[in-house]
Amino acid sequence: MIGLLATSFACEDGYIDEIQPKPAGVDEMPPEVTINFPEEGPLTWVPDEVMSINIDFEVMDDIEIQDIIVTLDGEGIGSYADFKDYRNAFIQLPYDNLTNGDHTLTVTANDLSGKTTTSTVEFEKPENYVPLYEGEIFYMPFDDQYLELVSVSEASIVGNPGFAGESASGANAYAGATDSYLTFPTTNLTNDAFSASLWYKVDADPNRAGILVIGPPDEANPDAQNNRTAGFRLFREAAGSNQRIKLNVGNGGGENWFDGGAAADINPSSGEWVHIAITISGTECAVYLNGEPVSQGTYPGISWEGCDIMSIGSGAPRFSGWGHLSDNSYIDELRIFNKALTQTEVQTILDNEQP
C-alpha cells in the first residue's frame, strides 16, 4: 500500500512524465538527415583489404518519417519503414564488406507528405596508413599486432611479449614481459630532430627498465652494453614508491641528462595511463608527462653514430649495463616524428588520443 501511495503521489506531482498524444498538425518541413559516421575524408587505416564499419546516422521530421533508404556507391544496403518514434530515428547499420578506395554513402529520408532529404558523405578506406600529424614517420597502434603502419613493417620480436587486454586509445596495447621486447632498424628514424609520443601504464616490477632506446654498440663492454655517447635512452627507475622517467642523450663527445626529479614521477599504484613525449632538436631536449614539461634544457646536439637498432619495451640490447632491461609495463600509440614537437603539438596528440 505504501508503494502504491508513493507512486500515485509522484504522478500527481509531476515527477513521472506520461506520454501525451500530439496532434499531427501541418507538415511544413522536410526531414533532417545527419550522418555521424563515417565522416568526410579517409578512415583510420587498417591493414585488412576488407573491413567492417558501423554506419551511424539520424533522421528527424516535424510530423512523421515514412521511410529511409541507405546506399553505398549506388547500391542499396539498408532500408527502414517501421519506427518506434515516428519523428526521430537513430540508426546504426553494420556493414562488413568495405574495400580499399573511395566510397559514397547516401541516406535518403522521405516523410508522409512526400518531402525528401538526401545526405551524402564521400570517404575513403585508404590502402596505406595516412600520417595524422606533420612530421610523423612511425606509428604503432599495437592493435593486436606489432605492425608499424607508415612503413607497413613488422617488429622483430625478442622473447614473448603480449597484449594488455586494454588500451589507452585503440584496441589492445603492448604488454611487456620478462626478457621480452621489440626492435626495429633505425632506417629513416635518425634525423636532425626527433620526437616520440606514447602512452604508458607503468608496472613497477622490475624496479627499473628501458622504455624506448636508440643507442650505439659498446665494444668495450660487450656483455654490459652502456655506450651513451650517441642516440638516446628513455627509461625509468624507482624513486621511493614511484617510478621516475629519465632521458639520456648522447652528443658525440659525451652525454646530457634530462631528469625532472619528482616532477617526472609516476605512481604505479594509480593504475592510470600516462602520456609521455620526448623532443630532441639540434639545441634542446624536453620530456613531457601528460602534456607538461618535466625536464628540458639545452645541449650540443645529438649524435647518431652507430645507432642502427631501436628497442621498444627494454634497454636491451644497447643499454643493459645498469640493469635497464625488459619492462613489464603497457605501451600504446607509439609515434615518432622527424621534428621537435612543440608543447602545443604534444597537447594536441594527447587530446586526440585521450583515454
Kindly state the percentage of the chain with pLDDT values over 90.
85
Location of C-alpha cell 563515417: 38
CATH class, 28-125 region: mainly beta
Domain with CATH 2.60.120.200 in the chain: 136-353
The grid coordinates listed for 125 are 578506406
Q: 147-198, pLDDT tens digit by residue?
A: 999 999 999 999 999 999 999 988 899 999 999 999 999 999 999 999 999 9
pLDDT band per the 50, 70, 90 thresholds, residue 45: confident
CATH class, 136-353 region: mainly beta
Identify the pLDDT of residue 6. Answer: 35
Q: 273-285, pLDDT tens digit by residue?
A: 999 999 999 999 9
CA terminus-to-terminus distance, the chain: 48
Q: 270-323, pLDDT tens digit by residue?
A: 999 999 999 999 999 999 999 999 999 999 999 999 999 999 999 999 999 999
| Contact call for residues 111 and 61 (beta carbons, < 8 A) | yes
Identify the pLDDT of residue 18. Answer: 55
Domain with CATH 2.60.40.10 in the chain: 28-125
If you write DSSP's letter for every residue of 40-90 in order, what string do you get?
A: SEEPPP-SSSEEEEEEEEEEE-SS-EEEEEEEETTEEEEEE---SSTTEEE
Helix/strand/coil percentages in the chain, nearest 5: 10, 45, 45
DSSP-assigned beta bridge partners for residue 233:
213, 248
| Contact call for residues 61 and 87 (beta carbons, < 8 A) | yes
The grid coordinates listed for 139 are 606509428
Q: 98-114, pLDDT tens digit by residue?
A: 999 999 999 999 999 99
Average pLDDT value for residue range 135-144: 95
Q: 199-212, pLDDT tens digit by residue?
A: 999 999 999 999 99
Task: Tell me the C-alpha distance between 257 and 1, whole Å.
Answer: 75
In 147-193 the beta strands, taken as DSSP E runs, fall at 147-148, 153-154, 156-158, 162-163, 174-175, 181-185
Q: Compare 344 and 7 and report the one with higher pLDDT.
A: 344
Identify the pLDDT of residue 8. Answer: 36
The grid coordinates listed for 122 are 564521400
For residue 30, what is the DSSP state?
P
